[in-house]
Amino acid sequence: MKYKIVEMFYSIQGEGVHSGTAAYFIRFFGCNLTCDFGHGMVCDDKAHSNRDKMVRMTADEIINEIPQEVEHIVITGGEASMYDLNDLIKKLKVRGYYVQVETNGFCIENIKKADYITYSPKSAFSADAPDPTLDYRMDELKLLAGVHNPVDAAKWSKVRVKYLQPIGTEHGIDKANTKYCIDFIKANPSWKLSVQLHKYLEVQ
């Protein structure tokens, strides 16, 4: 099987519980949603829809590109769970990699072999997205939020690991949305802040 890949790179994870961890990112082509966060803010990483960058690679070809020092893999998109990635994930784990997958919840079955699943529902931003649910297997919840996209704290009260991430621009941050998230977390201390550290450090 050949997978649709738009980019692979070694950087740091800037979001969620693994923020600050050295990670090798594998970004898959395409997404099942078209998100609009309002006020001119759309998907903050458009690489996933760039057909000019898309290449087809086997699992072995992907693995052969990973630098020797890598320990942590992040599979992302777009929406990676559009593809059945369990065979790729198993091969990565056999090689000793810790595999994290970021998903909007499209098809958890396609990524169920992952070590860690970050669930980031997008129903507030796309008419095609299903209502967010507690039924998905998740290791952490990551909600995008801001002044014009408030969070229903009660809905997620049973989730143990949950992050609020300010909606930003493609390459930058939004101070008003960041303030909203900080104020929300101060009022709801079971939540934590995810700040997209890579944008503050200006790294990929």
Q: Which domain holds residue 184?
A: 2-201
Phi, psi dihedral angles at 30 (to 5 degrees): 90, 160
Count: domains in the chain? 1
Determine if the peptide bond prior to 78 is cis (ω within 30°): yes
Q: What is the 3-state secondary structure (H, E, C) of the chain?
A: CEEEEEEEEEEECCCHHHCCCEEEEEEECCCCCCCEEECCEECCCHHHHCCCCCEEEEHHHHHHHCCCCCCEEEEECCCHHHCCCHHHHHHHHHCCCEEEEEECCCCHHHHCCCCEEEECCCCCCCCCCCCCCCCCCCCEEEEEEECCECCCHHHHCCCCCEEEEECCCCCCCCHHHHHHHHHHHHHCCCCEECCCHHHHHCCC
Global pTM reads 0.89
Decide which of 162 and 200 is more confident: 162
Which residues are within 8 A (CB) of 91 and not within 5 positions of it... i.e. 6 or more apart? 59, 60, 63
- State residue 48's pLDDT score: 63
Provide, rounded to the nearest whole percent, the portion of the chain with pLDDT above 90: 63
Provide, rounded to the nearest whole percent, the portion of the chain with pLDDT above 70: 84
User: Which CATH number do you get for residue 194?
Assistant: 3.20.20.70
- State residue 31's pLDDT score: 77
Question: Mind listing the pLDDT tens digit for each residue in 19-77?
Answer: 999 999 999 998 766 656 665 555 545 666 677 789 999 999 999 999 999 999 999 98
Mean pLDDT of 94-104: 96
How high does pLDDT run on average in the chain?
A: 87
Least confident interval from 57-66, 140-149, 185-194: 140-149
Contact 198, 74 (CB under 8 A): no
